[in-house]
Structure 1
């Protein structure tokens, strides 16, 4: 049995960054569902939270998982579940793109704290601003230029 500890900070937004998840109660419901469903599929989500137009997950990958498949399972199933249960007025979609960065063991608590404090964080900064900071911080090519 391999011993693997690979943490990934996964961030994805709603389609066109629409504030579909516009109430705290709805977000709590969706985050709980994402974590529970992921667990049932063998995906370990250490932490999940977000705001009205995006989601952050701290994930630990196992030896048979890759980021693309995990992101697809989380996003696809949660989108289906939100729509099946009519949790939003308009049809819900996640955007195709996402961020995924590796997190070192020494940074886990800092990332958990960042994810936990999304409500407070987004009183000061929009997801668009956060998006641009991620692009710059992790040297991703900005596709919006």
Structure 2
């Protein structure tokens, strides 16, 4: 960055396993999420928290301005898929579903978002991923067409 340039951008990413398959079993989650955190750090972003449940992930980062959101998500999804497949952490071929959600926050909101991401398992006992994702879109006042949302398999 150039001298005199100061940035503070916090971004949450949300994306699903392809076809919303529940492939991120508890016994591999910490390894996969740690790997994803390492990708984020290598890209010069600040990895704040990476967590999720069997069918999707949430990531909160301090975004470095040198890399776009789309390039960041692409790198995380690509590298983590390659890692999961190379290490044979899942039966068959693992892939992330196309698309993602990206939501920005101010510094004063970080504790709330951090706790929300850490408590994903507890949160999803009350709300499906579909409900959660649509709530994000509504809360951030994003227009969407349901035809282009993730392929939700929960029958809703």
Give yes or no for TM over 0.5: yes
* Distance in structure 2 (CA, Å) of the matches to 1:49 and 1:27: 8
2:153 matched to which residue of 1?
A: none
Unaligned runs of 5+ in 2: 148-156
- Deviation (angstroms), 1:139: 2.3
How many residues were matched structurally? 144
Aligned partner of 1:45 among 39, 44, 47: 47
2:151 matched to which residue of 1?
A: none
**In terms of mean alpha carbon deviation, does 124-133 or 45-54 score higher?**
124-133
* Distance in structure 2 (CA, Å) of the matches to 1:100 and 1:27: 21
Report 1:103-122 matches (<5 A): 103-122=105-124
1:96 matched to which residue of 2?
A: 98
* Distance in structure 2 (CA, Å) of the matches to 1:85 and 1:143: 36
- Deviation (angstroms), 1:100: 0.5
Structure with more strand by fraction: 1
1:125 matched to which residue of 2?
A: 127
Report 1:1-145 matches (<5 A): 1=3, 2-21=5-24, 23-145=25-147
* Distance in structure 2 (CA, Å) of the matches to 1:95 and 1:34: 16
* Distance in structure 2 (CA, Å) of the matches to 1:3 and 1:92: 38
Corresponding residue SS for 2:40: helix
- Deviation (angstroms), 1:29: 1.0
- Deviation (angstroms), 1:132: 1.7
Please say which structure displays the higher CA radius of gyration.
2
Structure 1: which 4+ aligned runs deviate by more than 3 Å? none
TM-score (norm 2): 0.86
* Distance in structure 2 (CA, Å) of the matches to 1:82 and 1:5: 31
Unaligned runs of 5+ in 1: none
